[in-house]
Amino acid sequence: MQLHELVNTIGQDLQRRYGEKVHKLTLHGGFSCPNRDGTQGSLVDQPFVYIKPTIKADY
């Protein structure tokens, strides 16, 4: 058995679904995380753990 028969990558799955290679397009909306201070969303008491308060979105 070949590795590609055992492992299903996202690229292979998207190519199977759409019949051609799919590319990711990234966009910069000019805004930061809406829940950086923990006041938005369903986790009002806990802001997202993967957002560090020291990181700024000043690109």
Is residue 12, in this structure, part of any structural domain at all? yes
| Mean per-residue pLDDT of the chain | 72
37: pLDDT strictly greater than 70: no
Within a domain: 57: no
On the CB side of 47, CA atoms within 13 Å amount to 11
* pLDDT mean over 30-42: 63
Distances (CA, A) of 22 to 7, 8, 15, 19: 18, 15, 7, 9
In a domain, 40, yes or no: no
What span, in angstroms and rounded, lies between the C-alpha atoms of 18 and 48? Answer: 33
Is the residue at 51 inside a domain? no
Q: Print the domain residue range for 15.
A: 1-25
pTM for the whole structure: 0.39
Q: For residue 46, tell me if it sits in a domain.
A: no
**Residue-level pLDDT at 12:** 87
The structural domain count of the chain equals 1
Check residues 26 and 48 and name the one with the higher pLDDT: 26
Structure confidence at residue 39 (pLDDT): 62
CA distance 12 to 20: 10
pLDDT value of residue 38: 57
15 has a pLDDT exceeding 60: yes
Q: Examine residue 17 and state whether it is found in any structural domain, yes or no.
A: yes
Distance CA 53, CA 1 (A): 47
